[in-house]
A and B are shown apart, each in its own frame.
Chain A
Amino acid sequence: MHRTAVKQVVMEGVLDANDALAQSNRERFDNAGNYVVNMMSSPGAGKTALLERTLERLRGKLRLGILEGDVQTTLDADRLARFHVPLVQVNTDPGFGGECHLDANMVRSGLSELPLPEIDVLVIENVGNLVCPAEFKVGEDSRVMVYSVTEGEEKPLKYPLMFRSADLVIVNKVDLLEHLDFDLEQFLGNLDAVNPGVGRILASARTGQGVDEWCSWLERRKG
């Protein structure tokens, strides 16, 4: 049989399917009255520690819910379980070698286990990674990055997509500044180079610095 090459125009966005699912998640959140934060960072930047402080601080003020994303284990969910808030763990390891991010479908799969109408603010703790989570919308209202001062000043320039997409950057572990060569001014300059004027909070989940400011930010968003 004679074969001929044909060219077919496709013009389909690689992330269209994910974006459509994210939109449907978003509608579900809106109907339930949830404000949804997609929290992203490198591994070990302190997302879970910050959430522990947040849950302590906002207890009785805001009804929080947590969706935990991790490649494996329920260690983070176990840490947060003592706060007795609605919490679901989504492990991404059924993906190819364990997906390095949450996508809209994975988030959707976790939602059935959460009592959405009883939640004011849902925090989605994404998989620790500065690259892929930025590409995948999950239906969030805002994106919050947790960045620790042990990661160096240059990362906004190396991973601009995530820093550009953030609505707020929490600069964590500032209690360590006196022990590090980290140049805070230079970091903030790099941050402004990729996301001019983005909100920033200097914080330490360990000492509690900045936690009030972050909690107020959440309360204002919800209010």
Chain B
Amino acid sequence: MAIAESIVRIAGQHANGRQVTKVYLKVGHLRQVVPSALTFGFEIVAQGTPIEGAELALEQIPASGKCRSCGAGSQLPGFPLQCRECGGFDLEIIEGEELYVESLEMEE
């Protein structure tokens, strides 16, 4: 719910009074964001703001990382987060931890 509030606040600041129709959000796979719960919270929090009625377009970003031992890149579909080449567990996360408002669609 606090995340939904934050999204509505960010959208409101950037909209500057214009009616927002769509909010594009990027969410990394390693985040514990449940899309249906976030969408529900977003709709409630948006009520009575210029964001009311806007669609929350949520795009999930798959996780990927780079092995600190062998340097290989791996897709990380689930836990354990493990290098596909050498099996190492010490990975630098490249993608999958995102949580940001990418853009807004508005009427003017």
Contact = CB atoms under 8 A, between A and B. Distances in A.
A106 B105 CA distance: 32
Contacts of A97: 1
Interface residues of A, number: 38
Chain A interface, DSSP helix/strand/loop, else mixed: mixed
Nearest to A13: B100
Assign chain B's interface to a size class. Answer: 20 to 34
B9 to A, nearest CB: 8
A164 B101 CA distance: 24
B108 A4 contact: yes
A134 B80 CA distance: 19
B10 A14 contact: yes
Contact of B6 (A15, A100, A164, A196): A15
A157 B81 CA distance: 11
Contacts of A196: 80, 89-90
Interface of B: 1-3, 5-7, 9-11, 14, 21, 25, 30-32, 45, 79-81, 89-90, 99-108
Q: Which 7 A-B pairs have the closest CB atoms?
A: A193-B80, A196-B89, A161-B32, A3-B107, A13-B100, A10-B101, A14-B99
